[in-house]
Amino acid sequence: MKRYCLACDLKDNPELIREYRKWHEPGGVWPEVLDSLKEAGIQDMEIYLQGNRLVLVMETDDDFSLERKAEMDRNNPKVVEWEKLMWQYQEAVPGAPPDQKWTLMEQVFKL
């Protein structure tokens, strides 16, 4: 099993943050999106929020690849639609590559 931690920001707007949270309540994420996560080998995923900073933690199969997941997403119209919807709320963290919302975080400590 592998673990990944990624960061993304929400637009610093309380109403947009409320809407984003609503989309991520139980039953809010589209079933096709959830299916695509599982098909890619993601076994568990959590998103945490502090202010407007999001931190995503996911545990995956050993053969999971971020590149393969990105390719799968590009070829799934429903995931493309979901990501376009989420871009209304999200923005890249400072220093992220252009057009990349979620940025891989570096592990600096482990107990």
Is 41 within a domain?
yes
In the chain, % of residues over pLDDT 90: 95
Boundaries of domain holding 76: 2-104
Is 111 within a domain?
no
How many structural domains is the chain composed of?
1
- Angle (nearest 5°) at CA 45 between 99 and 74: 35
**Mean pLDDT throughout 41-54?**
98
Compute CA distances 4 → 27, 40, 64, 65, whole Å.
Answer: 24, 14, 10, 10
Is residue 98 over pLDDT 90? no
* Dihedral in degrees, nearest 10, Cα atoms 50, 94, 103, 5: -40
CATH, residue 65: 3.30.70.100
For CA atoms 27, 28, 32, 38, give the dihedral sign. Answer: negative
Is residue 36 over pLDDT 90? yes
Structure tokens at 97: 């590559």
With a threshold of 0.85, does the pTM exceed it? Answer: yes
